[in-house]
Amino acid sequence: MVWLVRIAIANDMLIAVEAMRRVLVRVPEYKLAWVAYDGAQAVSKCAADTPDLILMDVLMPSMNGVEATRHIMSQSPCAIVMVTASVNRYAAQVFEAMSYGALDAINIPALGDGNGLLNKIATIARLIGKSSHRRLQPTAYPKSLPPLIVIGASTGGPQALLAILSQFPQDFSGAVVIVQHLDAQFASGFANWLDEQVSLPVKLASPGSSPQPGQVLLAGTNDHLVMRPDLTLDYDKQSQDCFYQPSIDIFFSSVAQHWTGKGIGVLLTGMGRDGAQGLKRLRQTGWHTIAQNRQTCVVYGMPKVASELNAAVEVLPIEAIASACIKFLPNSKLSL
């Protein structure tokens, strides 16, 4: 029999290992590759036998899951999902692990449960191809609308977003809306994490909200963030068979269709191809578009596809993207 997905578990709690093992045996196509009981052991085992996916605990002895993720992604990279007792409680550690390349996070399933974990694994399997289901000038804009910066990110996105947003000053004249591939259960924690570290206010986009100057809105559910014809934001359950929820492509395309003001589209680090077609659509409607370069991406997937599609006006290192945005905005300077 050909196993579709080989999955490893790194967790020092025997009951958690057993709970995840029971979840995996429910799907014949999933094979348990190995179990590690601390981070150092996970790094060693991954180097010797790299699985398709690791379910990585955050807190472990010897070496924690964040540090283990950093080592694995630099030495023998593979898909990693952080699995912990409380994603919200350990949000800072989860986001740090994601900056090193972890794809997502979820709470440890209770014995006898596990549907959420199975759904997460199925999504990752499709993302990594292990599933059988298988320069234009910016347009003129009305004075009543602020310049809009839309950003899409996935693997490695939290740290990349922080690098950009931390350079925007308090009197920033643009409005910012972000779609980061992130499970809804800790979107609020992610917004709070960013809000504490940058000068602009960061909050979740709510239905009926609209982009405002000097404010950052973040997609906050597993439904797709979209822009409506009245230029307000909403969530839509369309395309639920889409691999990515929320989808950057769906959001970018809705913005390209409805936003009549000046705009800048940015596509950051991430596995897969989500956002590339949407970025191309933005460029075709007169937006200035930017893709992150290979050298500064944790995973050069989405920006690579965007470059291949000629969707990006500029391909830039992460540290240059904020200044590239600001030069298109009136009366804004980098925050030093």
The whole-angstrom separation of Cα 192 and Cα 80 is: 23
Q: Partners of 104 in the beta sheet?
A: 81
**Closest-CA residue to 181 (of 149, 219, 235):** 219
User: What DSSP designation does 288 have?
Assistant: E
Tokens representing 205 are 């986009």
**Please, are residues 88 and 193 in contact by the beta-carbon 8 Å criterion?**
no
Sign of CA dihedral 198, 201, 206, 209: negative
The whole-angstrom separation of Cα 287 and Cα 245 is: 24
Distances (CA, A) of 233 to 120, 150, 334: 26, 12, 28
Mapped onto helix, strand or coil, the DSSP state of residue 28 is coil
Tokens representing 258 are 């409805």
Q: What is the CA radius of gyration of the chain?
A: 20
Told to judge if 154 belongs to the known catalytic residues of this protein, a careful annotator would answer yes
Catalytic residue, chosen from 274, 288, 307, 332, is 274
Told to judge if 113 belongs to the known catalytic residues of this protein, a careful annotator would answer no
Told to judge if 181 belongs to the known catalytic residues of this protein, a careful annotator would answer yes
SS percent in the chain: helix, strand, coil, step 5: 35, 20, 45
Distances (CA, A) of 11 to 54, 260, 318: 10, 50, 33
Helices (H) and strands (E) in the chain, counts: 11, 14
Q: Partners of 152 in the beta sheet?
A: 179, 267
Catalytic residue, chosen from 38, 52, 104, 181, is 181
The whole-angstrom separation of Cα 57 and Cα 8 is: 11
Catalytic residue, chosen from 57, 104, 154, 224, is 154
Q: How far is CA 244 from the centre of its chain?
A: 10
Residues taking part in catalysis: 154, 181, 274
